[in-house]
Amino acid sequence: MSDHDEPLFDDGDTGRSIASPQPSIAARVRSLVNNQPYAVLCMQGEGQPYGALVAFAFSEDLRRAVFATPVTTRKFRLLSECDRVALVIDNRLNRAGELMEIEAVTATGRSTLVDRDDSFDCWAELLVSKHPNLKSFVNARSCALFLVDIVRFFHVSSFQEVNQWIPTDQS
Amino acid sequence: MDSDRPVVIALSDAGNISETIVGGKATKLAQLASAGFTVPRGFCITTWAYQSFIEDNAITATIRMELGRKPMDDMRWEEIWDVALRIRSLFLTHACAEHLQREIDSALRRLDVSKPLAVRSSSPSEDASGTSFAGLHESILGVKGSKSVQEAVRLVWASLWSDAALLYRRELRLDPAQSRMAVLVQEMVEADRSGVAFGCDPRTGNKDLAIIESVPGPCSLLVDGVTDPDRWELDRRSRKVIAWVAGERAGDTDDEPILAEPDLQAILAALASIEKQFQWTPDMEWCGRSKSLTVLQARPVTTGKPDIDDKRDWYLTLRPGDARLREMRRRVAEVLIPQLEAEGNMLAAAELNGYDDRQLADAIEQRREALERWKKIYWDEFIPFAHGVRRLATYYNDAVQPEDPYEFVALLQNQPLIAIQRNVAIAKLAQEVRLDPVLQNALEDLLQTHSGRLDWKRARDASARTGNESLAKFINGFEEFTDQYLDIAFGQERLYETTESLLRNISELARIDDKPAKAAASSLSPRALEQRLFAAVGGDRYEEARDVIETGRISWKLRDDDNLLVSRLESQLLRALEIGAGRLRASGGLVGDGRPDAKDAESIMDCLRGGSGTVIELHASAIEISKLAPCADTGLTSRQLIGQPASPGIATGSARLVQGSADLGTFRHGEVLICDAIQPTMTHLVPLASAIVERRGGMLIHGAIIARELGIPCVNGVRNAVELFSNGNVVTVDGYLGIVTLGTPEFDLELNR
């Protein structure tokens, strides 16, 4: 997937793209992040990029994403050192000829470790409700929850059509 | 409810419905009923109900996770049993949807609810011709009341993923996305006779014969192996009895067959009719007599000799029913263990140094025979009795339905295992050293000059020289301890000969705080769990619950003790061999400085008896350990290994491999204990370890349970655990998730390039 073309910036207020595709970019982003179970989490450590697959869930307003990782992993260490992350979510089936059908979203933002206070249960519940099979994993004492405060989404479709969307209160 | 996909169907309507919906058992019984056979009344809960249950509760993905944690071909049977237990717990802790509950209640109202019910599996794949497997799935008898029926239905569903079914997963084509289970609920028929019958000889496939087996009472007594049946061989053409063998049953006084001629003829006629109708040779379960014969089940008979390389049938025998388990408990606890202990004591008391060479050769032979005999008993009787703990697990989980399927493990705490008594004695000796700095120093001095077996005389001389009374007292206590507990073998070596190793462990234990064990995995006391179980089963099953707990505890204790007691016998053989080798070495009949073991017994006995005159060569062999990783040539290094989260907690430490008795003394406090399996001979190391990694997997193996009791993280079932690590490797053990991470937890791999 190529995303090196300049994105079509939206107006930032309505969440609607200037290109006004139907359905809206916001709806397409929502559909993609709700329907896809896994994302590539992109991190960095002292200039070295690193990527890992994670199971994720988004808040209803799409402004926050949550995922879990054991504390012994490289992911955990990198996230502890640098909170700038991206999540790549797509609907590839890895079949020849599907290039134009693929949709992908790159969500950028800042990650924070969720303390084991009341909000932990709430975010854990959100993640487990999407991934019931991860219940014992998420609740394990050695498992950490991370929230990503989403700054913007880059939505890519039809191979090279790229839109940026910033979720707002109105969107 | 979707009317195109009914969740409940009357048994009488099931004959024309696909086996994929009602299962083979229900289809065949319905067809038999249509053909005029008497079958118990009942209804069928279809595979659509199963499908809706697993979809409503998102169970498929969790089953996939359980089955995909590790390649199943690499799992030991105990690990597969654990997987099945967790899946069973998953079904138990989710309720049926309300519409299904209503449908079941409505169907129940059409049965005679004063009678107990049988809730039986009716798998679409189990009875298909050519792939007939008996007993892979569960049937629950004597069920009463709507709530109990619903629980039983969920248990039968869960048995689609039973340990037995998972062993035969390929033949059954088990697939979480595709496999389904139907359930048959039937009135139970009271009859004074029941049994099985085969339309051929199932051992040979000879179709000239029919075989009938019968017991007094319900058929479950025969199927579970509780009651020995009477057995008939009949000629199918002449319909005459060729042979009758009476079953051996306690309390049976007369020698008369328990079935009369009309009973046998009615069964033969039923076999012939079933064969004619279905065009396969039947294997039939039945009850009642003559004209009141009721068919409980019919399926194609499976014939042929068992494949001796296929151990799966043997694993299936390791799940005895309650009555057999009680009998095993009596025999193991009251007969075998006392005999084993007495034989070990008797052999240990023998003054072998006073024997002449021939007598010594005889003593070696006697010990070798005893060891072989007890090893056979170990496999035939001790290992099957381990089921006592597994039975406690399922009994507790069925009744209490806890979130944590291993909650019951706390019921096993504080049992007086020999190994625990030994560990308590070690802790006492360590406490003596801890409280006395002078003794501590004296012990360190002693250890610097010793290796192998402690020379008591030199040790006493040292204490006399320094006037150190506490050292003298300690040495006396330690000698008493070694006599009592160390006359055992570990990896073909007598621990009695390496007492210095244990002294080093004691010295190490003395250096650490004598703090109580960290919070154990379960905060509930054994007493609280007992109460929880009694409350769940109710007053009328109180005695039964107590009995299951007691059997579980005895099973847990004796399955540890038996290892130590057999290793005591092995120690006696090694002792006799060492004396024999010593004599032969002195007379020139043996050269080399190696220690003899069981494989040298024949040649040593032969030589002692003045045999061939060939000089025996006995050289010390070095243990060769192949290291699979890190592999410099390929650049491949294991970074994170997956196992079973056997005891919660997380710890990082330096790896220490324990593979033989020589490794015991090198273990230091805070190291991560890496081994093939925690043996009862080495559990005293556990309090020193910061974490444990084992190759052998299972939640109910002793290493896992002791680690849980002491609050030490443990991951087991790690493939190549011993090969992948080297002493000194930094290892992080995550006992919550079952992850073992190799290497320092630093992100430095790319930074140095």
Give residue-wise pLDDT tens across range B637-673: 678 888 999 999 999 999 999 998 889 999 999 999 9
**Of the given ranges (A138-152, B178-192, B521-535), which has the lowest mean pLDDT?**
B521-535
Tokens read off for A49: 């990029």
Is there a contact between B23 and B9 (Cβ–Cβ < 8 Å)? Answer: no
- Percent of chain B surpassing pLDDT 90: 58
Please judge whether A72 and B750 are an interchain contact, meaning their C-beta atoms are less than 8 angstroms apart.
Answer: no
- Percent of chain A surpassing pLDDT 90: 63
Q: What chain A residue is nearest to B645 in terms of C-alpha separation?
A: A140
Q: Which pLDDT band, with edges at 50, 70 and 90, does A70 fall under?
A: very high
Q: What share of chain B is helix, strand, coil (3-state, %, to 5)?
A: 50, 15, 35
- pLDDT at residue B545, as a whole number: 96
A8-37 residues touching B, CB cutoff 8 A: none
Residue B505 main-chain phi, psi, to 5 deg: -60, -40
User: Average per-residue pLDDT in chain B?
Assistant: 88
Domain contains A60: yes
Mean pLDDT in residue range B331-353: 96
Cβ-based contacts of A71 with chain B (< 8 Å): 650, 734
**Of the given ranges (B557-571, B604-618, B654-668, B710-724), which has the lowest mean pLDDT?**
B604-618
CB atoms within 10 A of CB A101: 13
A133-162 residues touching B, CB cutoff 8 A: 133, 135, 137, 140-143
| A78 CB within 8 Å of a chain B CB | yes
Task: Tell me which residue in B734, B745, B751 faces A142 most closely, judged by beta carbons.
Answer: B734
Closest alpha carbon to B372 in B579, B701, B599, B557 = B599
Is there a contact between B534 and B542 (Cβ–Cβ < 8 Å)? Answer: yes
Cβ-based contacts of A77 with chain B (< 8 Å): 745-747
Tokens read off for B19: 């086996």
Please judge whether B62 and A45 are an interchain contact, meaning their C-beta atoms are less than 8 angstroms apart.
Answer: no
Is there a contact between B405 and B85 (Cβ–Cβ < 8 Å)? Answer: yes
Report CA B244 to chain centroid distance, whole Å: 36
Report the C-alpha gap between B253 and A121 in whole angstroms. Answer: 67
Mean pLDDT in residue range B45-64: 92
Report CA B113 to chain centroid distance, whole Å: 37
Helix axis angle, B357-377 to B542-587, nearest 10°? 150
- pLDDT at residue B346, as a whole number: 96
Domain contains A84: yes
Assess whether pLDDT exceeds 70 at residue B549.
Answer: yes
Higher pLDDT, B252 or B234: B234
Q: At a CB cut-off of 8 Å and minimum separation 6, what does B476 contact?
A: none
Domain that holds residue A67: 25-165
> In the beta sheet, which residues pair with residue B740?
B641, B733
Task: Tell me which residue in B61, B650, B736 faces A133 most closely, judged by beta carbons.
Answer: B61
Domain contains A10: no
Please judge whether A77 and B61 are an interchain contact, meaning their C-beta atoms are less than 8 angstroms apart.
Answer: no
Residue A53 main-chain phi, psi, to 5 deg: -80, 135
> In the beta sheet, which residues pair with residue B693?
B674, B715
Cβ-based contacts of A45 with chain B (< 8 Å): 747
Tokens read off for B615: 């000089």
Assess whether pLDDT exceeds 60 at residue A15.
Answer: no
Domain contains A51: yes
In the block, tokens 């200039």 appear at A47
Termini Cα distance of chain B: 64
* Mutation to test the B interface, candidates A46, A129, A136, A143, most B Cβ within 10 Å: A136
Is there a contact between B353 and B523 (Cβ–Cβ < 8 Å)? Answer: no
- pLDDT at residue B672, as a whole number: 97
- Report the C-alpha dihedral over residues B502, B505, B506, B512, rounded to 10 degrees: -170
Reduced to 3 states (helix: H, G, I; strand: E, B; else coil), residue B496 is helix
Task: Tell me which residue in B58, B734, B746 faces A132 most closely, judged by beta carbons.
Answer: B58
Tokens read off for B173: 């084509």
Element (H, E) at B730: strand B730-734
Residue A2 burial by Cβ neighbours in a 10 Å radius (0-12, 13-18, 19+): exposed
Report the C-alpha gap between B508 and B476 in whole angstroms. Answer: 20
Mean pLDDT in residue range B29-36: 92
Please judge whether B736 and A48 are an interchain contact, meaning their C-beta atoms are less than 8 angstroms apart.
Answer: no
CA distance B79 to chain A (A): 18
| A73 CB within 8 Å of a chain B CB | yes
Assess whether pLDDT exceeds 80 at residue B454.
Answer: no
CB atoms within 10 A of CB B726: 14
Assess whether pLDDT exceeds 80 at residue B309.
Answer: no
Domain contains A125: yes
Task: Tell me which residue in A77, A133, A143 faces B62 most closely, judged by beta carbons.
Answer: A133
Mean pLDDT in residue range B277-299: 91
Please judge whether B62 and A72 are an interchain contact, meaning their C-beta atoms are less than 8 angstroms apart.
Answer: no
> In the beta sheet, which residues pair with residue A155?
A105, A163
Mean pLDDT in residue range B168-181: 86
CA distance A138 to chain B (A): 10
Is there a contact between B394 and B85 (Cβ–Cβ < 8 Å)? Answer: yes
Please judge whether A133 and B58 are an interchain contact, meaning their C-beta atoms are less than 8 angstroms apart.
Answer: yes
Mean pLDDT in residue range B116-143: 79
Domain contains A16: no
- pLDDT at residue B169, as a whole number: 85
Task: Tell me which residue in A45, A46, A143 faces B737 most closely, judged by beta carbons.
Answer: A143
- The stretches of B188-306 forming alpha helices (DSSP H) are 220-223, 261-278
Q: What chain B residue is nearest to A77 in terms of C-alpha separation?
A: B747
Report CA B17 to chain centroid distance, whole Å: 40
Element (H, E) at B457: helix B456-466
Cβ-based contacts of B751 with chain A (< 8 Å): 46, 48
Report the C-alpha gap between B474 and B507 in whole angstroms. Answer: 12
Assess whether pLDDT exceeds 50 at residue B606.
Answer: yes
Handedness of CA B712, B717, B721, B722 (dihedral sign): positive
Task: Tell me which residue in A72, A132, A140 faces B741 most closely, judged by beta carbons.
Answer: A72
Give residue-wise pLDDT tens across range B469-492: 888 889 889 999 998 999 999 888
**Of the given ranges (B295-299, B301-305, B567-571, B574-578), which has the lowest mean pLDDT?**
B301-305
**How many domains does one find in chain A?**
1
Residue B646 main-chain phi, psi, to 5 deg: -90, -25
Q: At a CB cut-off of 8 Å and minimum separation 6, what does A3 contact?
A: A104, A106, A154, A156, A160, A162
Q: At a CB cut-off of 8 Å and minimum separation 6, what does B302 contact?
A: B132, B133, B134, B202, B283
> In the beta sheet, which residues pair with residue B654?
B730
Assess whether pLDDT exceeds 80 at residue B314.
Answer: no
Mean pLDDT in residue range B710-727: 90
- Provide the ipTM: 0.71
Assess whether pLDDT exceeds 60 at residue B747.
Answer: no
CATH at residue A155:
2.30.110.10
Domain contains A45: yes
Domain contains A7: no
CA distance B179 to chain A (A): 18
Is there a contact between A10 and A164 (Cβ–Cβ < 8 Å)? Answer: yes
Report the C-alpha gap between B195 and B189 in whole angstroms. Answer: 13
Q: What chain B residue is nearest to A75 in terms of C-alpha separation?
A: B747
Give residue-wise pLDDT tens across range B371-405: 999 999 999 999 999 999 999 999 999 999 998 89
Assess whether pLDDT exceeds 50 at residue B150.
Answer: yes
